[in-house]
Structure 1
Amino acid sequence: MSRARFGLRGKTALSLSGLLFMVLLVSSYTSYWQAKSIAMQNEQDKLIALKERIEQGLQSDRNNLMALRDVPPITAIIRARMHQGIDPENGDTLQLWRQRLAVIFRAFLLNHPQFFQIRYIDVEGNELVRGERGVSGVVRITAEDALQDKSGTDYVRQTLKLKEGQIYLSDVTLYREQGKIQLPHTPVLRMATPAFDSDGHTIGLIVINIFSDQLFSMIQSEANGTRRHIANDRGYFIKHSDAAKTFAWELGKHDRLSDVEPEMAAIASRQDQFIRFDTNHGELDGFQRIYFSPGQHNRYWLLILHVPRDVVFSANASMFKGMVLISFIICTLLFFLILSFVSRKIVRPVVRLAEATRALQAGDLTMRVDAVSAEDELRTLYEAINDFAEKQQYATEKLEREVALQTDKLAAVIDNIVDGIITITADGSIESFNASARALFGYADDEVLGRNVKMLMPEPYHSEHDGYLHHYMTTGEKKVIDTGREVTGLRKDGSTFPMDLAISEVMIDSVRRFVGITRDISERKQAEEKIRDMAHFDHLTRLPNRALFHDRLTQSLTLAHRNGSQLALMFIDLDGFKEINDSLGHEAGDLLLQTVAARLLGSVREVDTVARLGGDEFAVILPALQAAGNAAEKAALIIANVSAPYPEIDSKCTIGCSIGISLFPGDADTCKALLSKADIAMYAVKNSGKNHFCFYQDVDG
């Protein structure tokens, strides 16, 4: 009896209890030694996370700076200044371009609260446009007479030496105006980049003053004694838990890292990161360098951390208790799982077998049991049940298919005529209505039998039908009898459709009847319409093809002659399409052409015509132009839209376009001549760098 009770279940329980005890003992012993290294790694990871967040903030600000550098007013202001205040490209004034840049600066300041000030400065160091955020948070644009000369500042001189794409970052300092620190104290980081004209000449620089307090907002000390500071590469604190040490060197004091933590300063001069337990001070301390100016490894910020020992281990103590608790729970679960092992291996397979039997009895032949999960004799039994169910299912499905086949054959014999067949009496009443007619018109037999057939006709056939029938009955003159024609049918739901109708007269037992054979020709009509459409529109882009383009150009030219208006013709050739088509495949090329077509349509007016002439060539007709400058603006918009990335095709998919423009009446007064001169202007663009536009009037020679 004792041995029976202390069988496999008892031995399993005893072994599991011993295992549980050993796991808990080893877990408790090793957790303490792991706690120290885990704590150090966690704090190091936190420092790295802070570093990455600051770097991400800086990168976002760099991207915003480069976006500001590339806005059109940057180069347009300089062009206008060089041409007596008028931009030669579009005739806009210098003041208008200043206003546009001011609007952009205001929008950036409103949408980027970390920005304190944005300025555009020319190569002489004079501020051209300046926007800033006041103490109250109100964004304002500085009046022209209040703009300052910044030629004597270091950041202006250093930025003007940079190459295109390079960015200058200043040290974090307190904001100054006219060389004086402003109140309240505002720590700022200046970020600047030079701007260039199309010839690569430096024309000025864009400067953003960034609130460094927002950049370093996550560097906070805590009430539990945790302290976080940040110092520059000279050891001066730009943020410290002791406010007196923050920007001390700017305010005439001399609190450096080497003065307050000489050992930390010495290590920081040699290493990028460091973490340790300082037993002398009973705390964990460390640092992490942040290289804020790419390519300049002598310029960095030092992120410094001090965490009291009890704070570090309070978190690890909770982790240690959690590990022990989890280990205990896992071992307990294993204990009960093993105890129930034998029962599960017997009871559950039998239950599944009973459920399968009941399903088969209920007629569910799709039922299958998982034979793979069973073992030994149970697997053999499971496989036998599955085999039986599979054979029964096959036999049943075969019988159902045979029944369905015979049913289909019978239905085909009974109702094998595709066309609708309607018989009517001499007075026009419907006598019979086959299945195809029911499907065609949507009526059941009891809804049409005995009623006048004109119920199936819309106007004017509805009103004219009785007259046709009476005319034939009295004169014998056949207008619709024994002839086929296309008419319009009327369905029960009120919809109409085109159909072929052939009416024959038959005599049955000396009684005159008429047989109408009807067929829905909607698909044929659609096909005919599609053929007409294919003759005028490009199948890929759905734009007018060359034939329709010439028709519309002829019409537009005729109207321009009649109204005395201007007309512009653009000849567009895509730049880089062949490379995309060859590298990404023809499907990508087709999708690219479709996307370009959509962008071209989105760039023009409703009265304009966009056509595909073939390959990667397009044309745009711009009728009723006020001035040639309107065509230039439209060409610039098209180039900008076509040159934008195509992420739906590939992350690196970009193309350009070359546009030649001819004008009526200035360049030509015939379709052929206009197209030829636009083509000449386009090839002039191709030969001069691509991805811009040129008027025929501007082509040399």
Structure 2
Amino acid sequence: MRNKLHFRVSRIVTLGAIAFALVASVISYVRTQSDEFELMRKALEQLFSTVQRNAEIAAYLDSKDLAEEVVDSLSGNDIVSGVMLSSINGMVITSSWEDSDAGALRFPLYTPFPAFEQIGEVKIQMNEALLDSRVLKSAFEQMLILIILIAVISILILVLVLRVLTYPVQSIAANLHRIAPGDDNSLHCPKGHEEDEIGNLVNDINKLLQSARYTIKQEQFLRNRVENLEKHFRLIFERASAGIFLLDRHFHLNSINQAFKDIAGIAMKERRADKLKIYFPDLFYDVAVVRNLLEEVLKTGKQAACDLRLATLTTGGERWLHCLFSIVKNDDGDSLIEGLVIDVTERTFEMERILFESQHDALTQLLNRRAGEQRLDEMIRNANRSGSQILLMLIDLDGFKIINDSYGHEAGDKVLVEVSRRMQSIIRKEDILIRLGGDEFVIGFPIKDGGIDESEQVVNKLQQQLTTEIVLGDGLPVAIGASIGIALFPRDGTDLGSLMAHADNAMYQMKKQREKPVKKLLLLP
């Protein structure tokens, strides 16, 4: 590296010196030629002045002898290559004259008398070979001196550049190469350069090294922090109790954690063990609902949360997941769906149990008063819209108090459970069976077109079931009866309160008759 730098500096200095010498030589040659030409011209003028008087007399007298003497006198000089003397009368005397008079000096001849009339002319051709020889000699001498001077100056400049610039820069570069990125080392300024540009360069490089060290340390710190955060988040992702997943735009799973595999059952052999790319909606019971939900999330960009039922596994059982969906952007700006799922199967079943218990009687599992009245109100609204009829039956068990007092509450509970079972076996799916409390029950019976006879059959079956003996423990049979009050919507009332009042009044009338088994009440007047 050092030899290459020396070679480059030497070559630059040498080429610069040669170029300068050539330019200086050309300029010197041109100027020398001009100076020599001017000297020779002046010398010719002085030479002519020595023979001017004789030349004017020879031209005035047209004396060839005198003219030849003048011409020979002039041509005998080394700086003259040719001479021509001519008069106005036609006399022409030449010596070594070339045909072309280009570049010849012209000297007019005048009469030797005060009239000063031009009577002839002397033309002198300059010795160009002698001129070129003198010019070349002078130019060569000047160029040689110039080259020697330039060479000496170039050597001095080269030495100065090497000592002042090249060596210090090479030293700085070598020391800089020995400093590894992030080291605490710095450059030392070469001696004598503390206050010049090299010193400034060293100071700037040291500042740059210091900035680089700080940047590297910051980068290392940030990298370690990012790695720790990645480990932390990876640990959270892998060990989170909630299932975490990422879906592409086509709702296929891109990444999932172990909790999601366990919750969704993906790790089980009986579920898609041979599928590499799982379509997320396929994991659930209602594929269309999940697909529509994801499309809405992708379209609006809003979060969505709901409880979704997983598709039934071959191992059986019903499982519910609470899912939270939101939009995230990847590095390319594409929208992805991020999801979080929690197994809420137990919570769902618990809520269903609580809801069931809040709406049903704990002993008979029938609808309780509050839930039953809400269902009856809804049935009345539907019947009002459709113009259909409803049969409302209010049932009160006869003899139940005697059984309860004689055999205890446990026997009474058994009677209530059995009566509820028998009534449930008679009614249809769309009918409503309610335990109002104690031994009172209500049945809501929607009547279809022409269904009066069907309702009478239900009443007959109900009377038959309620008059059949019930066997208690130890094979003890007991007989009960029932009083039934009937109301017809909309004939006997248009709301639940009026219908219940009418049915209660009818049941009261039946109890007054004290007839057992229960007498049949006609539906129509």
The interval holding the TM-score normalised by the smaller chain is: 0.3 to 0.5
Asked which structure has the greater CA Rg, the reply is 2
Normalising by structure 1, what TM-score?
A: 0.31
TM-score, structure 2 as length reference: 0.40
